[in-house]
Structure 1
Amino acid sequence: MAVIAVYSVKGGVGKTTLAVDMAWRSAALSGHSTLLWDLDPQGGAGWLLGLPDRAESDAASIFRKDSKPSDLIVPSRYPGLAVLQADDSMRSLPATLARIGKRKRMARTAAALSDDYERIVIDCPPALNEISEQVFAAADLLIVPLPPSPLSARALPMIQAEILANHPRHPPILPVLSMFDARRKLHRDVLSGFAAGWPVIPMASAIEQTAARRAPLGTFAAASDVNARLQKLWDGIEAKLTMQASLGQASLSS
Structure 2
Amino acid sequence: MAVVAVYSVKGGVGKTTMAANLAWCSAEISCRSTLLWDLDASGGASFLLGVEPRKKKVATSVFALERDPEKLIRTTGYRRLDVLPADETIRALENQFMDIGKRKRLAKIAAQLGKDYERIIFDCPPVLNETSAQVVRAADLIIVPLPPSPLSARAFDRVVEEVKANTSRHPPILPVLSMLDLRRTLHRSAREENPDWPSIPQASAAEQCAVHQQPVGAFAPRSPAARSFQHLWTAIERKLAKRK
Coarse TM-score class (shorter-chain normalised): over 0.9
Matched with 1:8 is: 8
Q: Deviations over 1:223-247 (max 9, x none)?
A: 1122211111101111111221xx3
Matched with 2:84 is: 84
Q: Distance in 1 between matches of 2:214 and 2:226?
A: 13
The answer to whether 1:140 aligns with 2:130 is no
SS in 1 for 2:3: strand
Please give the TM-score of this superposition, normalised by the length of structure 1.
0.93
The answer to whether 1:116 aligns with 2:116 is yes
Please give the TM-score of this superposition, normalised by the length of structure 2.
0.97
The answer to whether 1:151 aligns with 2:136 is no
Q: Deviations over 1:37-65 (max 9, x none)?
A: 00000000111111112211011111123
Matched with 1:60 is: 60
SS in 2 for 1:137: helix
Matched with 1:28 is: 28
Shift of 1:139: 0.4
Corresponding pairs, count? 244
Matched with 1:252 is: none
Residue identity matched to 1:131: T
Q: Gaps (5+ residues) in structure 2?
A: none
Q: Distance in 2 between matches of 1:168 and 1:35?
A: 26
Matched with 2:241 is: 242
Q: Distance in 2 between matches of 1:25 and 1:187?
A: 26
Is contact 2:74–2:83 with CA below 8 Å preserved after alignment? Answer: yes
SS in 2 for 1:12: coil
Q: Deviations over 1:136-193 (max 9, x none)?
A: 0000000000111111222212221222122221210000010111111122223333
Q: Distance in 2 between matches of 1:39 and 1:153?
A: 24
Is contact 1:150–1:190 with CA below 8 Å preserved after alignment? Answer: no
Residue identity matched to 2:210: A
Q: Distance in 1 between matches of 2:112 and 2:211?
A: 35
SS in 2 for 1:145: strand
Residue identity matched to 1:148: P
Residue identity matched to 1:150: P
Q: Distance in 2 between matches of 1:238 and 1:131?
A: 25
Matched with 2:189 is: 189
Moved over 6 A (4+): none
Q: Distance in 1 between matches of 2:68 and 2:79?
A: 22
The answer to whether 1:207 aligns with 2:201 is no
SS in 2 for 1:27: helix
Q: Deviations over 1:48-85 (max 9, x none)?
A: 11111221101111112343112111101111111000
Is contact 2:8–2:156 with CA below 8 Å preserved after alignment? Answer: no
Q: Gaps (5+ residues) in structure 1?
A: 248-254
CA RMSD of aligned residues (A): 1.1
Is contact 2:35–2:83 with CA below 8 Å preserved after alignment? Answer: yes
Q: Deviations over 1:12-40 (max 9, x none)?
A: 11100000001011111111111100000
